[in-house]
Amino acid sequence: MSKYRLDYLDELEAEAIYILREVAGQFEKPALLFSGGKDSITLVHLALKAFRPGKFPFPLVHIDTGHNFEETITYRDDMIARIGEKLIVGHVQDSIDEGKVIEQKGKNASRNALQTVTLLDTIAKHQFDACIGGARRDEEKARAKERIFSVRDEFGQWDPKRQRPELWNIYNGKIHKGENVRVFPISNWTELDVWNYIRRENIALPTIYFAHQRDCITRNGQLMAASPFLNMDADDKIENKNVRFRTVGDMTCTAAVESYAFEIDDIIHEIASSKISERGARMDDKVSEAAMEDRKKGGYF
């Protein structure tokens, strides 16, 4: 016996790799959900460590709202070309065209809620039995109670009262036909852990994570990127600001923060001294106190 020797980033990394390999070993048709955000980019890096020199035992799946930051799509396509893995894209626009969802109207219209339908359809179409995602338990209190292997019924629903006990590092991936499992390998990471890992591993990120000049408007006290996807009117005053984004989602629901963090060290310093939580910059969590819990029950990631 001796004193514990693994550094925290090594331990988190080893745990995530272990979970990814459990997915590979336990499921027939897994997929890795790739949003273009730093958490799913971290997952891809972890998958390289888990499976190289072999290929990934799963494709990457991107649910494209059609309202993405251009930088995200550029990053995605460059990355796929570099790692040579398969990418499947599910388009929210297709769900709209097929009449499965109806585009929201009004000033706060967003496709964020619609993407759940596209996600569930994409899962059904490809018969994925496990979907790996980059959610973390420190993000939000409904997430704090979610398992690492989280079973969803055929409607994609999460039932917090019927979660399976999850003991030691034994993950029970047994499911019935039609069900699937959402798997969260970086559940135990905090936002700062992800950033420190990205710095240590020298992982490239989409440029919108770093401070840049951008035309913005202020909505409900939050800075939003001015874009054709945002329903703007005469009241909206466009201002050019130095901003960056802490999460990468749909342009209509991801708020910017004013920032002069041009390098990753600046970002880590900014987060370490920041007093606003990451999801505090997500308009979609502001709707009600139980917003995330309700959306998760409906199949949201």
Partner 1 sequence: MDILKFITAGSVDDGKSTLIGRLLYDSEAILVDQLEALHASNRKNDDGSIDLAILTDGLKAEREQGITIDVAYKYFETDKRKFIIADAPGHIQYTRNMVTGASNAGLAIILIDARKGVIEQTTRHSFLVSLLQIQQVVVAVNKMDMVDYSEDVFNRIVADYKVLAGKVGLKNVTYIPVSALKGDNIVYPSAKISWYTGDSLLTHLENVELEVDDTSAHARLPVQWVVRPQTDELHDYRGYAGRVSSGSFRVNDKVTILPSGFSSTISKIEFYDKAPQEAIAGMSVTVHLADNIDISRGDIIVNSAGQPQLSNLIEADLCWMDTRPLDPSLTYLVQHNTKTIRCKISEVLYKVNINTLEKDYIEDFKLNDIGRIVIKTAEPLAFDPYQLNKANGGAIIIDSRTNVTVGALMLRQAVD
Residue 66: CB minimum distance to partner 1, A: 30
Distances (CA, A) of 280 to 114, 115, 139, 268, 286: 21, 21, 9, 17, 8
What is the total count of residues that contact partner 1 (CB under 8 A)?
63
Q: Within 13 Å and on the Cβ side, how many CA atoms surround 137? A: 14
Site for partner 1 in 113-172 (CB under 8 A): 137-138, 141-142, 144-145, 160-161, 163-170, 172
What burial class does residue 128 get, using C-beta atoms within 10 Å of its C-beta: 0-12 exposed, 13-18 middle, 19+ buried?
Answer: buried
Q: Among residues 25, 77, 78, 97, which is the contact residue for partner 1, using CB under 8 A?
A: 25
Write down the residue that tokens 């959306």 correspond to: 295
Q: Among residues 1, 81, 102, 234, which is the contact residue for partner 1, using CB under 8 A?
A: 1
Q: Among residues 31, 41, 50, 123, which is the contact residue for partner 1, using CB under 8 A?
A: 50
Task: By CB under 8 A, tell whether 194 contacts partner 1.
Answer: no
Task: By CB under 8 A, tell whether 6 contacts partner 1.
Answer: yes
Q: Among residues 78, 98, 265, 289, which is the contact residue for partner 1, using CB under 8 A?
A: 289
Measuring CA to CA, which residue among 62, 59, 94 is closest to residue 75?
62
Do 294 and 160 touch, CB atoms closer than 8 A? no
Task: By CB under 8 A, tell whether 78 contacts partner 1.
Answer: no
Residue 269: CB minimum distance to partner 1, A: 15
Q: Which is nearer to partner 1, 25 or 78 (CB)?
A: 25
How far apart are alpha carbons 14 and 46 in whole angstroms? Answer: 9
Residue 143: CB minimum distance to partner 1, A: 9
Do 32 and 184 touch, CB atoms closer than 8 A? no
Residue 214: CB minimum distance to partner 1, A: 23
Q: β-pairing, 255-258 with 180-183?
A: unpaired
How far apart are alpha carbons 75 and 78 in whole angstroms? Answer: 5
Query: Contact positions toward partner 1, by CB under 8 A?
Result: 1-8, 10-15, 17-18, 21-22, 24-25, 48-55, 57, 137-138, 141-142, 144-145, 160-161, 163-170, 172, 174-176, 187-188, 190, 192-193, 274-277, 280, 289-290, 293-294
